[in-house]
Structures are given as C-alpha cells and as structure tokens.
Amino acid sequence: MNYVGFQILKMSNILDQIFADKKVELSTTRRNSPLSEIKHRVEDQPPARDVYKVLAKGGTTRIIAEIKPRTPFKGELRRGFDAKAIAGEYVENGAAILSILTESNYFGSSIEIFQGVKEVAPIPLMRKDFIFDEYQIYESRAYGADLFLLIATWLDKYLMRDLLCIGEELGMPALIETHNEQDLEKAFEASAKMIGINNRDLTNGKTDLEITRRLAPMALQEKDKILVCESGIHGRKEIEEFEELGVHAFLIGESLMVSKNIPAKLKELLGCEES
C-alpha cells in the first residue's frame, strides 16, 4: 500500500509540509527496521487494552491527556520536559487514556518517548502522529499502542479504510480526526467507530470551539459512535457544555502541558478539584 491513496496536494501549508517530511523519514525508518522485523515485534506484544470500554463508560468525564514537548504553532510547551513524569501525574490524577505525540521534526518527540511512557503507564495509550502507511500501524502496535490517530483532512477515504482495517486486525482501533463536514463524510464512509472533532485547523494553527458546536450533531447522527472533542479546551465549563452536546471524551494537551500544576489542572477539568 506504499503511499497509494495520497491526496495530490500543493505544498501550501504546515500540514502538507509535515506529511512530506514524514514520508522522507519513513523511508529511512523502513531501511533501518524492515516491516518483517516490526511484524515480529508485534507478535511479542500483549493484547491491546480495551479502548472502547474506557471511553464509552458513562457518568464521569473522560480525558485523553496528551504528552508533547512542543508544537509548530506555539514552540516549546514545557521546560524540563519529562514524558515519564508527566505520564505519572496524568495517570495518578484521573486521565482515562494517554496520547503521546511521536513526530520528531515539528513536535520534538519520538517513538522512543512513547516506549518510555509505556513502561510506566497502566492505562491505554494512543500513538498520535501523521500516519499514512501500513508500516506505521504495525510500528504503533509493535511499540505497545492501544489506539492510533488518523487525520481525515489529509487521507482519502479508501486509504483511511485500509489503515483502519489493518489496525482492527491487530486489535487496535483508530480515532479518526475530523475538522469539517467533508472530513466527517469520509469518516462515515470508512466506517469509523471513534470520531474526533479537532477545533484546531492543522493548516494554520487557528483554534475555534465553534467547530465542535457545529459538527457534533452531525457526528452523532449514526448510533454507537464515540465522539472526542480535540483542542481548545481550557476549563470545566467548556467540558460541561460539550458533554451536553453528546461528546464522550476530550483530548487535551496544551492546557495541561503549559500548566504550572498538572495535577490541579487535570482535576479541575475532570470536575473533581479540591474545595
């Protein structure tokens, strides 16, 4: 499936640039660690944790807490970045799932950082990267991912469906990230079970919570979908508003990463801050 299904896009924005650089990087990764070797590592992994069970649980707010050193829009997010320490604080203070960004050129992370978090986190882990090739799916499972992210804005529906199917064969579902109505249509056509609505436009970094307000009713038209709100969440009131709209979980990174007190911020977002 190597690169089949790519959208033919001009190099006009940061998202295009990231995927183009990822394509080059993947060529090197393949040479250093052939797919056959990665598949062998997959066989040594325990079964993926049940992400659906975690996110579909009612009665409490579910937060997918994200770990990332920096972004191409905001630069460095946290001095003295320590992924394992951050993961420990997330786990101890109520995160349902951890999202670990593994892109290196623009976000300063790596698959090795994911592996380090895996060693200390007993809850499901999502690999968040710019995924477009089957190799990356197998690689995610080989490093212990329980869930992975696919960006509908950049993938066509056929490639997205193929990648979803490979993940399902490995017992590892995907969160399909959308940003507009066209993305949602692609997610439905690919039979996505988990849909994320990203309030951030990845082509320019702008964030607008109206995206979720507009798209949530459409995303929930089909039954048995898990809906995740991504980006731009800073406080408890926003979470309560979107839970009323039917959102099941919230992927929150920047608000936590820049916080001076991660445990307190996470408890505030969960609605269990100390009085």
Q: Is 177 a catalytic residue?
A: yes
Closest C-alpha to 225, from 198, 197, 244, 259: 197
**What letter would DSSP give residue 150?**
E
The span from the CA of 162 to the CA of 143, in Å, is 21
Catalytic pick among 231, 254, 255, 268? 231
Catalytic pick among 89, 230, 254, 268? 230
Catalytic pick among 89, 139, 177, 254? 177
Provide the H-helix boundaries in the chain: 14-32, 35-43, 51-56, 83-92, 111-118, 134-142, 157-169, 181-189, 210-219, 236-244, 254-257, 262-270
Q: Is 230 a catalytic residue?
A: yes
Q: Is 68 a catalytic residue?
A: yes
Task: Decide: 249 and 62 in contact? Cβ < 8 Å.
Answer: yes
Catalytic pick among 22, 118, 128, 265? 128
Sequence-distant (≥ 6) Cβ neighbours of residue 58 within 8 angstroms = none
Task: Decide: 66 and 175 in contact? Cβ < 8 Å.
Answer: no
Catalytic pick among 22, 66, 186, 254? 66
Catalytic pick among 93, 198, 199, 255? 198
Catalytic pick among 22, 68, 118, 265? 68
Sequence-distant (≥ 6) Cβ neighbours of residue 44 within 8 angstroms = none
Instruction: Give me the active site residues, please.
Output: 66, 68, 128, 177, 198, 230-231
